[in-house]
Amino acid sequence: MICPRCKTENGSRTICSKCGFYIYHPDVNNRVKMTKAERAREDAKIMGKKVWKVLKVVWIIIVIVVMSFWILAGLMYLSGGIGLG
């Protein structure tokens, strides 16, 4: 589909890749009918994004845990060093 605002060809996209204009309208004749397989693929894409979001949070938690472990280890090493004099 061609964006009515900036005339960019967007293929089967419903939102313009250049200006973000929402091309898709349910009452327009040139709408793209989604088959079951296409809809399933879209769902999978959305699910993938959700999983990625959760993974990002898990990754941040792991980084914080590892960081605090290293800080603790460093502090213990420092205090041990002081203890040894």
Tell me which residues touch Zn ion (CB under 5 A): 3, 5-6, 8, 16, 18-19, 21
- Please, what is the minimum distance in Å from the beta carbon of residue 17 to Zn ion? 8
Judged by beta carbon, residue 9 or residue 43, the one nearer Zn ion is 9
Judged by beta carbon, residue 15 or residue 44, the one nearer Zn ion is 15
For residue 17, what are its two tokens?
A: 């890749």
Report which of 28, 33, 14 is spatially closest to residue 1, judged by C-alpha positions. 14
Q: What share of the chain is helix, strand, coil (3-state, %, to 5)?
A: 60, 5, 40
Judged by beta carbon, residue 1 or residue 21, the one nearer Zn ion is 21
